[in-house]
């Protein structure tokens, strides 16, 4: 990805890009990843959440079709949604995280990443491995993809 000594430069360039093009989902996703790398789940949630909302808002009113993950720019939207869900779950907002994943699953039922995250969430709940103050998805900082409630 980005060399450790170049993180500040990369972040500055990405922030410059999103200042000029707010709907640049790939840049928001990278900023979310950088925030996770520094264990700033709240900042990551902001970037992933913004990108996810841009994607949701771009759908036609009442959209009920399939949005194939692998087509065009859709992958960036799904990456943002998965990142947002992971951040919400890590912050103890499991219901909200599950709702994001369920929305993604409705939009592309064939998306195995979303299906796997939902299955992992179900398994953790079934086994009672849930702790609201700890990240519950094993690889949160490595996602491909806690302090404020600004919703």
Mean pLDDT, 10 residues at a time, the chain of 151 residues? 71 85 91 93 97 96 94 96 96 94 97 94 84 44 41 40
What DSSP state is assigned to residue 142? G
**pLDDT recorded at residue 93:** 93
140 alpha-carbon distance from chain centroid: 10
**pLDDT recorded at residue 147:** 41
Domains of the chain, each with CATH number or no CATH:
4-142 (1.25.40.10)
- Around Cβ 61, how many Cβ atoms within 10 Å? 4
Cα–Cα distance for residue pair 112/129, rounded to 1 Å: 23
Cα–Cα distance for residue pair 48/43, rounded to 1 Å: 9
**pLDDT recorded at residue 3:** 61
Query: For the chain, where are the alpha helices, taking DSSP H only?
Result: 7-20, 25-37, 41-58, 74-90, 94-107, 112-127
**pLDDT recorded at residue 137:** 46
């Amino acid at each position: 990805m980005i060399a450790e000594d170049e993180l500040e430069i990369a972040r500055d360039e990405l922030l410059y890009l999103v200042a000029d093009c707010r709907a640049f989902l790939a840049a928001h996703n990278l900023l979310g990843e950088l925030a996770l790398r520094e264990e700033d789940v709240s900042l990551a949630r902001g970037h992933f959440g913004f990108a996810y909302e841009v994607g949701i808002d771009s759908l036609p009113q009442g959209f009920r079709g399939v949005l194939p993950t692998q087509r065009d720019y859709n992958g960036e939207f799904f990456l943002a949604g998965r990142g947002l869900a992971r951040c919400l779950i890590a912050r103890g907002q499991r219901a909200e995280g599950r709702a994001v994943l369920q929305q993604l699953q409705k939009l592309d039922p064939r998306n195995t990443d979303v299906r796997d995250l939902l299955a992992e969430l179900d398994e953790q709940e079934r086994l009672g491995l849930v702790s609201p103050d700890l990240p519950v998805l094993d690889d949160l900082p490595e996602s491909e993809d806690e302090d404020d409630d600004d919703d």
